[in-house]
Amino acid sequence: MDQKVIPAKTHKLPIEKIDPHAIYITEKLKEAGFIAYLVGGSVRDLLLGHVPKDFDISTSAKPEEIKKVFRNCLLIGRRFRLAHIRFGRKIFEVSTFRTGDLEKEELILRDNQWGYPEEDAFRRDFTINGLFYDPSNETIIDYVEGYADIKRRLLRTIGNPYTRFVQDPVRMLRLLKFQARFDLEVDPEAHIAMVECKKEILKSASARVLEEVLRMLESGASQPFFELMTEHGLIEYLVPEIAQFIEKDPDGEEIYDYLDEVDAIFQDPSSSNLDRSVILGSLSFPILEKRIKTQFLDREHIPHLGQIQDQTHDLVNDLFQGFFRIPRRLKVGLINILIGQYRLTPLQKKKVQRRRIPKDADFGLALSFLRLRCCLEPGLQKIHDWWMEAYERVEEKEKPSQRRRRRPRKRRR
Protein backbone atom coordinates (compact mmCIF):
# COMPACT_ATOMS: atom_id res chain seq x y z
CA MET A 1 0.00 0.00 0.00
CA ASP A 2 1.34 3.45 -0.90
CA GLN A 3 2.39 5.98 1.68
CA LYS A 4 0.01 8.90 2.12
CA VAL A 5 1.14 12.15 3.69
CA ILE A 6 -1.73 14.19 5.10
CA PRO A 7 -0.93 17.87 5.76
CA ALA A 8 -2.00 19.83 8.84
CA LYS A 9 -4.59 21.88 6.94
CA THR A 10 -6.38 18.61 6.05
CA HIS A 11 -6.20 16.58 9.26
CA LYS A 12 -6.43 19.54 11.72
CA LEU A 13 -4.88 17.50 14.55
CA PRO A 14 -4.55 19.88 17.55
CA ILE A 15 -0.76 19.99 18.10
CA GLU A 16 -1.26 22.14 21.20
CA LYS A 17 -2.73 19.07 22.96
CA ILE A 18 0.48 17.08 22.47
CA ASP A 19 2.74 16.88 25.52
CA PRO A 20 5.79 19.13 24.86
CA HIS A 21 8.11 16.42 26.22
CA ALA A 22 6.91 14.02 23.50
CA ILE A 23 7.70 16.61 20.83
CA TYR A 24 11.10 17.23 22.46
CA ILE A 25 11.94 13.50 22.26
CA THR A 26 11.17 13.35 18.53
CA GLU A 27 13.21 16.51 17.92
CA LYS A 28 16.27 15.18 19.77
CA LEU A 29 16.13 11.87 17.89
CA LYS A 30 15.88 13.70 14.57
CA GLU A 31 18.83 15.91 15.50
CA ALA A 32 20.80 12.71 16.13
CA GLY A 33 19.99 11.54 12.58
CA PHE A 34 17.09 9.16 13.24
CA ILE A 35 13.46 8.99 12.08
CA ALA A 36 11.01 9.57 14.96
CA TYR A 37 7.21 9.80 15.00
CA LEU A 38 4.36 9.87 17.49
CA VAL A 39 2.48 6.62 16.95
CA GLY A 40 -0.65 4.63 17.59
CA GLY A 41 -3.15 5.53 20.29
CA SER A 42 -2.17 9.16 20.81
CA VAL A 43 -2.61 10.00 17.11
CA ARG A 44 -5.90 8.09 17.00
CA ASP A 45 -7.25 9.76 20.15
CA LEU A 46 -6.39 13.28 18.98
CA LEU A 47 -8.08 12.71 15.62
CA LEU A 48 -11.18 11.36 17.39
CA GLY A 49 -11.34 14.38 19.69
CA HIS A 50 -10.02 12.72 22.85
CA VAL A 51 -7.09 13.67 25.08
CA PRO A 52 -4.48 10.87 25.07
CA LYS A 53 -3.26 9.41 28.36
CA ASP A 54 0.11 8.47 26.87
CA PHE A 55 2.28 9.61 24.00
CA ASP A 56 4.32 6.76 22.52
CA ILE A 57 7.13 7.29 20.04
CA SER A 58 8.60 4.97 17.39
CA THR A 59 12.01 5.53 15.88
CA SER A 60 14.66 4.06 13.61
CA ALA A 61 17.14 4.29 16.51
CA LYS A 62 18.01 1.02 18.27
CA PRO A 63 17.52 0.91 22.06
CA GLU A 64 21.22 1.44 22.83
CA GLU A 65 21.27 4.40 20.42
CA ILE A 66 18.25 5.94 22.16
CA LYS A 67 20.05 5.62 25.50
CA LYS A 68 23.04 7.54 24.11
CA VAL A 69 20.76 10.45 23.14
CA PHE A 70 18.92 10.67 26.49
CA ARG A 71 20.62 10.48 29.87
CA ASN A 72 17.18 10.08 31.53
CA CYS A 73 16.56 6.83 29.63
CA LEU A 74 16.04 3.35 31.07
CA LEU A 75 15.99 0.28 28.82
CA ILE A 76 13.46 -2.38 29.82
CA GLY A 77 12.46 -5.82 28.54
CA ARG A 78 14.42 -8.94 27.63
CA ARG A 79 12.71 -10.37 24.57
CA PHE A 80 12.15 -6.96 23.02
CA ARG A 81 13.83 -3.92 24.48
CA LEU A 82 11.99 -0.64 24.94
CA ALA A 83 13.25 2.74 26.10
CA HIS A 84 11.52 4.59 28.93
CA ILE A 85 12.38 8.28 29.05
CA ARG A 86 11.42 10.00 32.28
CA PHE A 87 10.52 13.64 32.85
CA GLY A 88 9.55 14.00 36.51
CA ARG A 89 6.66 11.58 37.05
CA LYS A 90 5.94 11.22 33.34
CA ILE A 91 7.35 8.25 31.43
CA PHE A 92 7.43 8.18 27.63
CA GLU A 93 7.81 4.84 25.86
CA VAL A 94 10.08 4.83 22.82
CA SER A 95 10.22 1.72 20.61
CA THR A 96 12.29 0.84 17.57
CA PHE A 97 10.42 0.18 14.30
CA ARG A 98 9.63 -3.54 14.02
CA THR A 99 8.59 -5.92 11.30
CA GLY A 100 6.28 -8.93 11.42
CA ASP A 101 4.73 -11.66 9.24
CA LEU A 102 1.28 -10.43 8.26
CA GLU A 103 0.19 -13.64 6.50
CA LYS A 104 1.40 -16.45 8.80
CA GLU A 105 -1.66 -18.16 10.34
CA GLU A 106 -0.23 -19.12 13.72
CA LEU A 107 0.16 -17.63 17.18
CA ILE A 108 2.88 -14.99 17.35
CA LEU A 109 5.55 -16.11 19.83
CA ARG A 110 8.40 -13.91 18.59
CA ASP A 111 8.02 -10.31 17.47
CA ASN A 112 11.45 -8.78 17.90
CA GLN A 113 12.88 -8.03 14.46
CA TRP A 114 13.82 -4.45 13.64
CA GLY A 115 12.12 -2.95 10.60
CA TYR A 116 11.15 0.19 8.68
CA PRO A 117 8.26 2.60 9.36
CA GLU A 118 5.96 0.99 6.78
CA GLU A 119 6.65 -2.50 8.20
CA ASP A 120 5.98 -1.23 11.70
CA ALA A 121 2.65 0.22 10.55
CA PHE A 122 1.58 -3.07 8.93
CA ARG A 123 2.32 -5.16 12.04
CA ARG A 124 -0.15 -3.12 14.15
CA ASP A 125 -3.64 -4.44 14.86
CA PHE A 126 -6.14 -1.96 13.39
CA THR A 127 -5.86 0.71 10.74
CA ILE A 128 -6.83 3.46 13.19
CA ASN A 129 -3.75 2.51 15.26
CA GLY A 130 -1.37 2.44 12.30
CA LEU A 131 -0.87 6.19 11.84
CA PHE A 132 2.36 8.14 12.42
CA TYR A 133 2.52 11.84 13.26
CA ASP A 134 5.60 13.95 12.49
CA PRO A 135 5.60 17.02 14.79
CA SER A 136 8.41 18.67 12.80
CA ASN A 137 6.12 19.38 9.84
CA GLU A 138 2.76 18.48 11.45
CA THR A 139 1.99 15.78 8.88
CA ILE A 140 0.34 12.38 9.32
CA ILE A 141 2.02 9.45 7.55
CA ASP A 142 -0.50 6.77 6.60
CA TYR A 143 0.43 3.38 5.08
CA VAL A 144 -2.79 1.53 5.99
CA GLU A 145 -5.74 3.82 5.08
CA GLY A 146 -6.17 4.54 8.79
CA TYR A 147 -6.97 8.22 8.31
CA ALA A 148 -9.89 7.42 5.97
CA ASP A 149 -11.19 4.83 8.46
CA ILE A 150 -11.08 7.35 11.31
CA LYS A 151 -13.10 9.76 9.20
CA ARG A 152 -15.60 6.97 8.49
CA ARG A 153 -15.43 5.84 12.15
CA LEU A 154 -14.69 2.32 10.92
CA LEU A 155 -12.81 -0.31 12.91
CA ARG A 156 -10.87 -2.52 10.50
CA THR A 157 -7.94 -4.91 10.92
CA ILE A 158 -4.70 -4.42 9.02
CA GLY A 159 -4.61 -7.47 6.75
CA ASN A 160 -6.88 -10.51 6.81
CA PRO A 161 -8.90 -10.38 10.07
CA TYR A 162 -9.01 -14.17 10.49
CA THR A 163 -5.22 -14.40 10.20
CA ARG A 164 -4.68 -11.46 12.52
CA PHE A 165 -6.96 -12.89 15.23
CA VAL A 166 -5.26 -16.30 15.06
CA GLN A 167 -1.83 -14.63 15.27
CA ASP A 168 -2.88 -12.72 18.39
CA PRO A 169 -6.33 -13.55 19.82
CA VAL A 170 -6.15 -10.61 22.27
CA ARG A 171 -6.84 -8.43 19.22
CA MET A 172 -10.47 -9.54 19.48
CA LEU A 173 -10.68 -8.01 22.96
CA ARG A 174 -8.97 -4.89 21.68
CA LEU A 175 -11.49 -4.63 18.84
CA LEU A 176 -14.36 -4.68 21.35
CA LYS A 177 -12.45 -2.23 23.55
CA PHE A 178 -12.18 0.35 20.78
CA GLN A 179 -15.77 -0.24 19.72
CA ALA A 180 -16.92 0.36 23.31
CA ARG A 181 -14.70 3.39 23.94
CA PHE A 182 -15.26 5.25 20.67
CA ASP A 183 -18.61 3.86 19.43
CA LEU A 184 -17.10 2.78 16.11
CA GLU A 185 -18.62 0.58 13.43
CA VAL A 186 -16.87 -2.78 13.03
CA ASP A 187 -15.87 -3.91 9.56
CA PRO A 188 -18.18 -6.85 8.59
CA GLU A 189 -15.23 -9.12 7.71
CA ALA A 190 -13.68 -8.54 11.13
CA HIS A 191 -17.02 -9.31 12.79
CA ILE A 192 -17.34 -12.65 10.95
CA ALA A 193 -13.72 -13.55 11.73
CA MET A 194 -14.23 -12.86 15.43
CA VAL A 195 -17.22 -15.23 15.57
CA GLU A 196 -15.07 -17.95 13.96
CA CYS A 197 -11.99 -17.31 16.12
CA LYS A 198 -13.43 -16.65 19.57
CA LYS A 199 -12.19 -19.98 21.00
CA GLU A 200 -8.65 -18.90 20.12
CA ILE A 201 -8.73 -16.47 23.07
CA LEU A 202 -7.84 -19.40 25.38
CA LYS A 203 -4.49 -19.74 23.56
CA SER A 204 -3.42 -16.29 24.76
CA ALA A 205 -1.38 -15.70 27.89
CA SER A 206 -4.00 -15.49 30.66
CA ALA A 207 -2.11 -12.69 32.45
CA ARG A 208 -2.24 -10.56 29.30
CA VAL A 209 -5.98 -11.18 28.83
CA LEU A 210 -6.61 -10.34 32.49
CA GLU A 211 -4.69 -7.07 32.24
CA GLU A 212 -6.58 -6.07 29.07
CA VAL A 213 -9.94 -6.68 30.80
CA LEU A 214 -8.89 -4.92 34.02
CA ARG A 215 -7.77 -1.87 32.06
CA MET A 216 -11.15 -1.77 30.34
CA LEU A 217 -12.86 -1.91 33.73
CA GLU A 218 -10.93 1.28 34.53
CA SER A 219 -11.60 2.97 31.18
CA GLY A 220 -15.00 4.53 31.80
CA ALA A 221 -16.50 2.23 29.14
CA SER A 222 -16.64 -1.10 30.99
CA GLN A 223 -20.42 -1.52 30.67
CA PRO A 224 -20.56 -1.42 26.84
CA PHE A 225 -17.36 -3.52 26.73
CA PHE A 226 -18.87 -6.31 28.84
CA GLU A 227 -22.09 -6.10 26.88
CA LEU A 228 -20.13 -6.55 23.64
CA MET A 229 -18.10 -9.44 25.11
CA THR A 230 -21.35 -11.14 26.09
CA GLU A 231 -22.97 -10.44 22.72
CA HIS A 232 -20.00 -11.91 20.81
CA GLY A 233 -19.57 -14.93 23.10
CA LEU A 234 -16.09 -14.11 24.40
CA ILE A 235 -17.10 -13.78 28.04
CA GLU A 236 -18.24 -17.42 28.17
CA TYR A 237 -14.65 -18.55 27.51
CA LEU A 238 -13.09 -16.14 30.00
CA VAL A 239 -15.54 -16.23 32.95
CA PRO A 240 -18.34 -18.70 32.13
CA GLU A 241 -20.12 -18.19 35.48
CA ILE A 242 -20.53 -14.46 34.79
CA ALA A 243 -21.71 -15.19 31.24
CA GLN A 244 -24.32 -17.64 32.53
CA PHE A 245 -25.55 -15.19 35.18
CA ILE A 246 -25.88 -12.31 32.69
CA GLU A 247 -27.57 -14.37 29.99
CA LYS A 248 -29.85 -16.67 32.01
CA ASP A 249 -30.60 -15.09 35.38
CA PRO A 250 -33.47 -12.57 35.64
CA ASP A 251 -31.16 -10.38 37.77
CA GLY A 252 -28.23 -10.68 35.35
CA GLU A 253 -28.58 -7.08 34.16
CA GLU A 254 -27.59 -5.94 37.65
CA ILE A 255 -23.93 -6.47 36.72
CA TYR A 256 -24.35 -3.90 33.94
CA ASP A 257 -25.97 -1.52 36.45
CA TYR A 258 -22.92 -1.75 38.70
CA LEU A 259 -20.56 -1.27 35.74
CA ASP A 260 -22.53 1.83 34.73
CA GLU A 261 -21.77 3.32 38.15
CA VAL A 262 -18.11 2.31 37.91
CA ASP A 263 -17.93 4.06 34.52
CA ALA A 264 -19.50 7.21 35.96
CA ILE A 265 -16.77 7.36 38.61
CA PHE A 266 -13.94 6.94 36.09
CA GLN A 267 -15.48 9.50 33.74
CA ASP A 268 -15.65 12.11 36.50
CA PRO A 269 -12.29 13.93 36.79
CA SER A 270 -13.14 15.05 40.33
CA SER A 271 -13.69 11.47 41.59
CA SER A 272 -10.93 9.37 43.09
CA ASN A 273 -10.49 6.16 41.13
CA LEU A 274 -11.55 2.78 42.49
CA ASP A 275 -9.25 -0.03 43.55
CA ARG A 276 -9.35 -3.00 41.18
CA SER A 277 -10.70 -5.27 43.92
CA VAL A 278 -13.66 -2.90 44.35
CA ILE A 279 -14.32 -2.98 40.60
CA LEU A 280 -14.22 -6.79 40.58
CA GLY A 281 -16.82 -6.64 43.34
CA SER A 282 -19.20 -5.22 40.72
CA LEU A 283 -18.92 -8.48 38.77
CA SER A 284 -19.16 -10.69 41.86
CA PHE A 285 -21.58 -9.19 44.39
CA PRO A 286 -24.81 -9.62 42.37
CA ILE A 287 -23.97 -13.33 41.91
CA LEU A 288 -23.12 -13.74 45.62
CA GLU A 289 -26.42 -12.10 46.61
CA LYS A 290 -28.30 -14.49 44.32
CA ARG A 291 -26.51 -17.56 45.72
CA ILE A 292 -27.24 -16.54 49.32
CA LYS A 293 -30.87 -15.82 48.43
CA THR A 294 -31.29 -19.19 46.69
CA GLN A 295 -29.52 -21.30 49.29
CA PHE A 296 -30.69 -19.57 52.46
CA LEU A 297 -33.21 -16.73 52.26
CA ASP A 298 -35.66 -18.54 49.97
CA ARG A 299 -35.70 -21.30 52.60
CA GLU A 300 -36.41 -18.74 55.33
CA HIS A 301 -32.98 -19.24 56.86
CA ILE A 302 -30.65 -16.36 57.76
CA PRO A 303 -27.05 -17.52 57.20
CA HIS A 304 -24.46 -16.74 59.84
CA LEU A 305 -21.22 -14.99 58.90
CA GLY A 306 -19.29 -18.27 58.68
CA GLN A 307 -21.71 -19.57 56.02
CA ILE A 308 -21.42 -16.26 54.12
CA GLN A 309 -17.63 -16.58 54.24
CA ASP A 310 -17.83 -20.10 52.78
CA GLN A 311 -20.16 -18.93 50.00
CA THR A 312 -17.84 -16.01 49.21
CA HIS A 313 -14.70 -18.16 49.00
CA ASP A 314 -16.50 -20.66 46.76
CA LEU A 315 -17.79 -17.92 44.46
CA VAL A 316 -14.45 -16.14 44.05
CA ASN A 317 -12.77 -19.49 43.32
CA ASP A 318 -15.47 -20.32 40.75
CA LEU A 319 -15.10 -16.96 39.00
CA PHE A 320 -11.39 -16.26 39.13
CA GLN A 321 -9.51 -19.56 39.51
CA GLY A 322 -9.22 -20.96 35.98
CA PHE A 323 -8.03 -19.14 32.88
CA PHE A 324 -9.15 -15.81 34.34
CA ARG A 325 -7.06 -16.24 37.51
CA ILE A 326 -6.52 -13.02 39.47
CA PRO A 327 -3.45 -12.23 41.63
CA ARG A 328 -3.60 -13.21 45.30
CA ARG A 329 -3.67 -9.60 46.52
CA LEU A 330 -6.75 -8.86 44.42
CA LYS A 331 -8.39 -12.12 45.43
CA VAL A 332 -7.92 -11.51 49.18
CA GLY A 333 -9.13 -7.91 48.84
CA LEU A 334 -12.19 -8.99 46.86
CA ILE A 335 -13.14 -11.68 49.40
CA ASN A 336 -12.85 -9.19 52.27
CA ILE A 337 -14.93 -6.62 50.37
CA LEU A 338 -17.73 -9.10 49.70
CA ILE A 339 -17.81 -10.48 53.24
CA GLY A 340 -17.60 -6.92 54.51
CA GLN A 341 -20.93 -6.05 52.88
CA TYR A 342 -22.69 -8.44 55.26
CA ARG A 343 -20.93 -6.83 58.22
CA LEU A 344 -21.86 -3.33 57.07
CA THR A 345 -25.44 -4.26 56.13
CA PRO A 346 -26.27 -7.47 58.05
CA LEU A 347 -29.11 -9.67 56.84
CA GLN A 348 -30.46 -9.66 60.42
CA LYS A 349 -31.53 -6.04 60.80
CA LYS A 350 -31.28 -6.02 64.60
CA LYS A 351 -27.55 -6.57 64.29
CA VAL A 352 -27.11 -3.25 62.54
CA GLN A 353 -26.99 -1.65 66.00
CA ARG A 354 -23.85 -3.57 66.98
CA ARG A 355 -21.59 -1.31 65.02
CA ARG A 356 -17.85 -1.43 65.51
CA ILE A 357 -15.03 -0.81 63.08
CA PRO A 358 -13.36 -4.12 62.19
CA LYS A 359 -9.57 -4.14 62.50
CA ASP A 360 -9.28 -5.08 58.86
CA ALA A 361 -6.89 -3.63 56.28
CA ASP A 362 -9.58 -3.90 53.59
CA PHE A 363 -12.37 -2.23 55.57
CA GLY A 364 -11.89 1.03 53.64
CA LEU A 365 -12.31 -0.89 50.37
CA ALA A 366 -15.50 -2.51 51.69
CA LEU A 367 -16.79 1.00 52.43
CA SER A 368 -15.91 2.07 48.88
CA PHE A 369 -18.02 -0.78 47.52
CA LEU A 370 -20.87 0.12 49.88
CA ARG A 371 -20.75 3.63 48.41
CA LEU A 372 -21.13 2.05 44.97
CA ARG A 373 -24.13 0.06 46.21
CA CYS A 374 -25.72 3.32 47.42
CA CYS A 375 -25.92 4.47 43.78
CA LEU A 376 -28.24 1.52 43.06
CA GLU A 377 -29.88 1.35 46.51
CA PRO A 378 -30.26 4.93 47.84
CA GLY A 379 -31.74 3.55 51.07
CA LEU A 380 -28.24 2.42 52.08
CA GLN A 381 -26.87 5.98 52.08
CA LYS A 382 -27.52 6.66 55.79
CA ILE A 383 -25.84 3.39 56.77
CA HIS A 384 -22.84 4.24 54.58
CA ASP A 385 -22.54 7.73 56.07
CA TRP A 386 -22.63 6.39 59.64
CA TRP A 387 -19.88 3.87 58.93
CA MET A 388 -17.84 6.45 57.05
CA GLU A 389 -17.94 8.93 59.94
CA ALA A 390 -17.01 6.21 62.44
CA TYR A 391 -14.19 4.97 60.19
CA GLU A 392 -12.76 8.47 59.78
CA ARG A 393 -12.83 9.01 63.56
CA VAL A 394 -10.91 5.79 64.15
CA GLU A 395 -8.43 6.66 61.38
CA GLU A 396 -7.84 10.06 62.97
CA LYS A 397 -7.21 8.54 66.41
CA GLU A 398 -4.79 5.95 65.07
CA LYS A 399 -2.63 8.43 63.13
CA PRO A 400 0.98 8.20 64.37
CA SER A 401 2.37 11.22 66.22
CA GLN A 402 3.80 13.82 63.89
CA ARG A 403 6.57 14.53 66.41
CA ARG A 404 9.86 12.91 65.56
CA ARG A 405 11.12 10.71 68.38
CA ARG A 406 14.74 10.99 69.43
CA ARG A 407 16.80 7.87 69.51
CA PRO A 408 18.31 7.16 72.93
CA ARG A 409 22.02 7.90 73.14
CA LYS A 410 24.35 4.96 73.34
CA ARG A 411 26.36 4.83 76.53
CA ARG A 412 30.11 4.96 76.26
CA ARG A 413 31.90 1.93 77.52
Using CA atoms, how far apart are residues 80 and 76, in angstroms rounded to an integer? 8
What is the chain's percent helix, strand, coil content, to nearest 5? 55, 10, 35
Burial of 257 (0-12, 13-18, 19+ CB in 10 A): middle
| CA-to-CA dists, residue 162 to 98, 101, 126, 172, 208, angstroms | 22, 14, 13, 10, 20
Is 244 within 8 Å of 230 (Cβ atoms)? no
Check 2, 19, 45, 54 and give the catalytic one.
Answer: 54
Using CA atoms, how far apart are residues 104 and 396, in angstroms rounded to an integer? 61
Is 326 within 8 Å of 280 (Cβ atoms)? yes
Check 56, 187, 263, 275 and give the catalytic one.
Answer: 56
Using CA atoms, how far apart are residues 223 and 258, in angstroms rounded to an integer? 8
What type of residue is 5?
A: V
Check 45, 120, 125, 362 and give the catalytic one.
Answer: 125
Q: Which of 75, 78, 79, 72 is nearest to 24 (CA)?
A: 72
Residues β-bridged to residue 87: 90
Using CA atoms, how far apart are residues 303 and 84, in angstroms rounded to an integer? 53
Using CA atoms, how far apart are residues 97 and 282, in angstroms rounded to an integer? 40
Q: Which of 82, 194, 184 is nearest to 127 (CA)?
A: 184
Start-to-end CA span in the chain (Å): 84
- Check if 125 is active-site: yes
- Check if 56 is active-site: yes
Is 57 within 8 Å of 136 (Cβ atoms)? no
Residue 131 phi, psi dihedral angles, 5° rounding: -95, 145
Q: How far is Cα of residue 185 from the mean position of the Cα atoms in its chain? A: 21
Burial of 370 (0-12, 13-18, 19+ CB in 10 A): buried
Q: Which residues are catalytic?
A: 54, 56, 125
